């Protein structure tokens, strides 16, 4: 469509037509420059000045919309036939093919490719190049790294006066919490200011204990209930048993009554397997083992006096220091005593006399730790004096395996719950030893110095990787063991079983031999009295020897005493002889005592 603009004007408004004519020019104005005006101006120096005469622009950035591209393949069903050939027509395709076949390039290619291909085909036919070799050894053995353990956390006693950690217990579900019992076991070392609290620590938070337990007297030991992770039972220094429920606060829910409790500190308390899940038993150096039902702590449900003569005589009872209970054998338990005996007891015996089944004598000092191997319950570990010993239940005369005498006292030990050949011990010099009996029996596989103070207690968490140890200064150190020591190796169980069997057999043979020798001697003595007296002489000789040594000792002491008296009376002679004195004195002395 054309756009048209129309202007209209009346003819009479136009006016007359314009008539143009020439005219002579006239000068209207002629203005000349006035030089005097220049005096009012100063000539300026030349200066360069840039001038830009262009359009002003501003800078902008823009992002174009992303171009979405998708890669996909095209499937030619019928490959790219040239345009003129219709793929459906047989004749055309055949003709095309024939043409290609005549091509030189084609011939050469095929000949060359053919030879290559033949080679490969023959290769395939001769051997199976895809055969799986080394099928069985598919698992690559990890590089055996040296065993190690590293400290993860240290939980310190928040009180001023540090107390020893004498008992540790891991939380039963997953072990995220550690309960530690703090007490002072040294006789009369507790001052009035010593705090009585014991703590439950969350292992992630070493700064502040999660729960504080406030007993009436220092807690020597405590144990989490494996069935109910909120309840704990603890044994106090004054012999009472206290029962806590962490949901109910820091104060114990119940205490056992004073009259029926132990007379000595309760050294160990363990929960039992029962239908109600409320049974525990405790041991103390007063010679009693008491069974409790935590719902009614006023009186123990059962009592056992550790009298080796089986008479229940409290005076002759052995003081118990450690207890052992394995959930898989609920009627049997073992007690480690101060005198170095391990007493194996049967709870279900009809008469109290039969409760004590047998004793194992092996240590020279109190047995501080006693635990059955979680994989081989017939073998148990004891720790006392300066050695750790492994026993078999069948052999009562001696332990089947033992470590050599260590440099310091061993205070606690436990088996690793995941590996039957590993156990841990702690010593008075602050060292934690990890023993692997399959690897080395004479020395610990790994020795770590945890702290400078003696370590009193040790507990391994159920996963076998975390170990907590408590020291005299109230520090609980949490260590993580390297995976090599906490994962079950192949054949380990069978190897350990074989080792225990071997050692047990050895002991049995030795025992049998001993019995034989004794029988022979006895039969020989029956034949002739001389032999008998000879045997007695031998025995007496040992007594005589002791008497002789004693008298020798006393005579030497008296001789020395007399000599000293003489010297005091004649100091001058002594001074003259001082120079020669040393030599002569040495020659005089039989025992080689050096004079100061």
- Nearest partner of 264 among 355, 185, 196, judged by Cα: 185
Q: Is 122 in the site for other proteins (CB under 8 A)?
A: yes
Q: How many residues bind other proteins (CB under 8 A)?
A: 33
Q: Is 71 in the site for other proteins (CB under 8 A)?
A: no
Residue 518's SS3 state is: helix
What tokens were used for 386? 């300066």
Tell me the CA distances in angstroms from 86 to 77, 80, 104, 146, 251, one per residue in order.
14, 11, 25, 75, 98
Residue 11's SS3 state is: helix
Q: Residues 232, 213: contact at Cβ < 8 Å?
A: yes
Phi, psi of 282 (to 5 degrees): -135, 155
Closest approach, Cβ 89 to other proteins, in A, equals 14
Q: Which residues contact 86 (CB under 8 A, 6 or more apart)?
A: 92
| The three-state (H, E, C) secondary structure of 170-182, written as one string | ECCCCCCEEEEEE
Closest approach, Cβ 97 to other proteins, in A, equals 6
Q: Residues 426, 448: contact at Cβ < 8 Å?
A: no
Closest approach, Cβ 123 to other proteins, in A, equals 9
Q: Residues 436, 422: contact at Cβ < 8 Å?
A: yes
Instruction: Using CB under 8 A, pick the residue from 38, 86, 106, 257 that binds other proteins.
Output: 106
Q: Is 578 in the site for other proteins (CB under 8 A)?
A: no
Instruction: Using CB under 8 A, pick the residue from 95, 97, 520, 524 that binds other proteins.
Output: 97
Candidates 117-125, 312-320, 383-391, 453-461: pick the segment binding other proteins (CB under 8 A).
117-125
Give the number of other CB atoms < 10 A from CB of residue 144. 7
Nearer Cβ to other proteins (119/364): 119
Candidates 109-117, 228-236, 311-319, 535-543: pick the segment binding other proteins (CB under 8 A).
109-117
Q: Is 75 in the site for other proteins (CB under 8 A)?
A: yes
Q: Is 94 in the site for other proteins (CB under 8 A)?
A: no
Nearer Cβ to other proteins (121/327): 121
Instruction: Using CB under 8 A, pick the residue from 92, 96, 190, 428 that binds other proteins.
Output: 96
What tokens were used for 410? 């061993």
Q: Is 112 in the site for other proteins (CB under 8 A)?
A: yes
Tell me the CA distances in angstroms from 256 to 248, 292, 298, 316, one per residue in order.
18, 9, 5, 25
Instruction: Using CB under 8 A, pick the residue from 1, 57, 72, 111 that binds other proteins.
Output: 111
Q: Is 117 in the site for other proteins (CB under 8 A)?
A: yes
Q: Is 136 in the site for other proteins (CB under 8 A)?
A: no
Candidates 1-9, 101-109, 430-438, 461-469: pick the segment binding other proteins (CB under 8 A).
101-109
For the chain, the first-to-last Cα distance in angstroms comes to 140
Q: Is 397 in the site for other proteins (CB under 8 A)?
A: no
Nearer Cβ to other proteins (118/537): 118
Nearer Cβ to other proteins (101/541): 101
Nearer Cβ to other proteins (128/135): 128
Q: Give the Cα separation of 371 and 77 in Å (integer).
A: 77
Q: Give the Cα separation of 404 and 409 in Å (integer).
A: 12
Q: Is 101 in the site for other proteins (CB under 8 A)?
A: yes
Q: Is 116 in the site for other proteins (CB under 8 A)?
A: yes
Q: Is 439 in the site for other proteins (CB under 8 A)?
A: no
- Nearest partner of 418 among 485, 490, 366, judged by Cα: 485
Binding site for other proteins (CB under 8 A): 73, 75-81, 96-97, 100-102, 105-107, 109-118, 120-122, 124-125, 128, 130
């Amino acid at each position: 469509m054309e756009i048209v603009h129309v202007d209209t004007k009346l003819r009479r408004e136009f006016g007359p037509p314009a008539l143009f004519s020439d005219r002579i020019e006239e000068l209207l104005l002629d203005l000349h420059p006035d030089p005097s005006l220049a005096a009012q101006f100063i000539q300026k120096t030349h200066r360069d000045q840039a001038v830009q005469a262009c359009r002003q622009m501003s800078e902008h950035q823009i992002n174009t919309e992303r171009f979405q591209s998708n890669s996909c393949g095209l499937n030619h069903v019928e490959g790219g036939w040239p345009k003129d050939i219709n793929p459906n027509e047989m004749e055309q395709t055949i003709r095309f093919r024939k043409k290609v076949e005549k091509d030189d390039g084609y011939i050469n290619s095929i000949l060359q490719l053919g030879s290559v291909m033949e080679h490969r085909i023959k290769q395939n036919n001769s051997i199976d190049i895809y055969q799986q070799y080394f099928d069985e050894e598919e698992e690559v053995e990890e590089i055996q790294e040296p065993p190690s353990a590293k400290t993860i956390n240290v939980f310190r006693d928040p009180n001023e006066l540090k107390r020893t950690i004498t008992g540790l217990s891991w939380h039963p579900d997953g072990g995220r919490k550690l309960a530690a019992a703090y007490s002072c076991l040294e006789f009369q070392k507790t001052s009035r200011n010593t705090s009585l609290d014991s703590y439950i620590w969350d292992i992630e938070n070493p700064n502040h204990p999660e729960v504080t337990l406030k007993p009436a007297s220092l807690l020597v030991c405590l144990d989490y209930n494996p069935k109910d992770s909120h309840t704990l039972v603890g044994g106090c220094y004054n012999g009472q048993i206290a029962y806590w429920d962490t949901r109910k606060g820091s104060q114990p829910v119940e205490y056992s009554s004073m009259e029926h409790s132990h007379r000595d500190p309760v050294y160990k308390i363990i929960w039992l397997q029962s239908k109600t899940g409320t049974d525990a038993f405790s041991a103390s150096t007063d010679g009693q083992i008491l069974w409790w039902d935590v719902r009614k702590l006023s009186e123990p449900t059962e009592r056992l006096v550790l009298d080796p003569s089986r008479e229940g005589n409290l005076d002759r009872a052995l003081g118990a220091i450690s207890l052992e209970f394995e959930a898989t054998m609920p009627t049997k338990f073992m007690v480690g005593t101060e005198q170095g005996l391990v007493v194996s007891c049967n709870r279900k015996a009809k008469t109290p006399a039969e409760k004590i089944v047998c004793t194992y004598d092996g240590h020279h000092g109190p047995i501080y730790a006693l635990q059955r191997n979680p994989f081989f319950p017939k073998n148990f570990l004891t720790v006392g004096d300066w050695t750790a010993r492994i026993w078999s239940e069948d052999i009562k005369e001696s332990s089947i395996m033992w470590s050599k005498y260590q440099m310091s006292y061993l205070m606690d030990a436990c088996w690793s719950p995941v590996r039957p050949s590993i156990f841990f011990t702690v010593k008075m010099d602050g060292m934690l030893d990890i023993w692997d009996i399959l690897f080395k029996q004479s020395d610990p596989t790994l020795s770590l110095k945890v702290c400078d103070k003696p370590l009193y207690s040790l507990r391994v968490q159920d996963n076998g990787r975390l170990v907590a140890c408590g020291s005299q200064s109230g520090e609980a150190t949490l260590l993580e063991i390297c995976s090599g020591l906490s994962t079950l190796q192949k054949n380990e169980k069978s190897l350990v079983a074989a080792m225990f069997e071997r050692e047990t057999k050895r002991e049995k043979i030795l025992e049998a031999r001993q019995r034989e020798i004794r029988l022979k001697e006895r039969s020989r003595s029956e034949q002739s009295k001389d032999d008998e007296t000879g045997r007695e002489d031998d025995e007496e000789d040992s007594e005589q020897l002791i008497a002789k040594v004693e008298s020798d000792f006393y005579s030497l002491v008296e001789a020395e005493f007399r000599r000293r008296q003489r010297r005091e009376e004649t100091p001058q002679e002594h001074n003259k002889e001082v120079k020669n004195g040393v030599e002569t004195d040495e020659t005089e002395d039989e025992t080689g005592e050096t004079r100061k």
